[in-house]
Structure 1
Amino acid sequence: MRKLIAGGVFATLIASSALASGLKIEVEGEANGTITIDLLEDIAPKHVAQITALAADGKYDGVVFHRVIDGFMAQTGDVEFGRVGGDMRRAGTGGSDLPDLPAEFSDVSFDKGVVGMARSQSPDSANSQFFIMFDAGPFLNGQYTVVGRVTDGQDVVDAIKRGAGSNGAVIGAPDVMKTVTVTD
């Protein structure tokens, strides 16, 4: 399937992601528990297909929440540099071996529990990293791709260890996505 993705053909993964309705994330650290996310494949089919492929391959297992800003969001998903035991100074600067994705902006609001794709300044640079909202962030509306919503475990999200400073870099041992599985 990677060759299909790398070639820009997403039909196979989009079709397979239509069977996936969400993610189950087991979190360990200051926050312990399960976060259940409903993926919005009708809103962002390419992004959902990519997240689903990475989760199904176990790429998110052992990845930390590297950027956590109180009152805003918790960011994770750097499958390249964000692994437990890795050099946390680089966490948040990597992606996956899959291509970056074109933006799939929608009119879905960034409310508490909404899951969005992290990216650089380029709207078409989302890859593997995503964030979960602690509170509403209307300034993100139409600027970032929405991929899902927390349906259970917002209390676990709310307990994720906060970072320091304006960039929310987590000091010490960050919370980690122990396992991420695709749900039907």
Structure 2
Amino acid sequence: MVDIKDPENTIVMETTKGQVVIQLLPDLAPQHVARIKELAREKFYDGIVFHRVIDGFMAQTGDPTGTGMGGSDKPDLKAEFSNTNHVRGTCSMARSQNPNSANSQFYICFEDAPWLNKQYTVWGQVIDGMDNVDKIKRGEPVRDPDSIVTMRVAADV
């Protein structure tokens, strides 16, 4: 198990492929980090599938409908774009073409994705378990997809 330095700003996500630990970045995206923690504490993400998984790019999740069209019942968030690059293990919010449309869907980058920089809100970085992210079943949409079993703030575990 990785040494968690800031449990209030760390997410422990159990997936069907194993545990993934994400360091939250509240200095970069305070509203998005607050939303992720709020939804995790409401157990919103439990059982949600990775509905869009593209080899060499990213694994996307966070849609309760599993279609890529859904979100939470909370209002969409205003963009918090930063100069932080999308690299392997970056956690960033999915959105529609409207920059201020992020809600609950997010993705984890398998590889560096520089074309996403300053276009999507980065809110976290995988610090342990990227090998498990790499095992997530690919597809667009994914047949018989992997899912988040539980997603918790480390301080609550």
TM over 0.5: yes
Residue by residue over 1:145-170, the C-alpha shift from the partner in whole angstroms, topping out at 9 and shown as x without a partner, is: 0000000000000110000xxxx211
Can you list the C-alpha shifts for 1:38-85, whole angstroms capped at 9, x where unaligned?
000110000010111000000000000000000000000013x13xxx
Which residue type is aligned with residue 91 of structure 2? Answer: V
Superposition RMSD on alpha carbons, in Å?
1.1
How many corresponding residue pairs? 150
Q: Distance in 2 between matches of 1:48 and 1:34?
A: 20
Amino acid corresponding to residue 61 of structure 1 in structure 2: D
Q: Where do 5+ consecutive residues of structure 2 fail to align?
A: 1-5
Alignment equivalent of 2:142, drawn from 162, 165, 170: 170
Distance in 1 (CA, whole Å) between partners of 2:98 and 2:119 is: 10
Question: Which of the two has higher C-alpha Rg?
Answer: 1
- What is the match of residue 183 of structure 1? 154
Name the structure 2 match of 1:131. 107
Aligned to 2:135: 159
Look up the SS of the partner of 2:8 in the other structure: coil
For residues 54 and 22 of structure 2, the distance between their equivalents in structure 1, rounded to whole angstroms, comes to 20
SS of the aligned residue for 1:94 comes to coil
Cα deviation per residue 1:79-110 (whole Å; 9 max; x = unaligned)? 3x13xxxxxxxx21001010000000000000
TM-score (norm 2): 0.93
8 Å contact 2:7–2:153 — kept in the other structure? no
Consecutive aligned runs of 4 or more in structure 1 exceeding 2 Å deviation: none
Question: Structure 1: 5+ residue runs without aligned partners?
Answer: 1-17, 83-90
**Counterpart pick for 2:55 among 43, 54, 70:** 70
Matching of residue 113 in structure 1 with residue 113 in structure 2? no
CA distance in 2, matches of 1:63, 1:78: 7
- Aligned-pair identity (%): 55
Structure 2 CA distance, aligned partners of 1:98 and 1:112?
Answer: 29
Q: How far apart are 1:19 and its partner, in Å?
A: 7.0
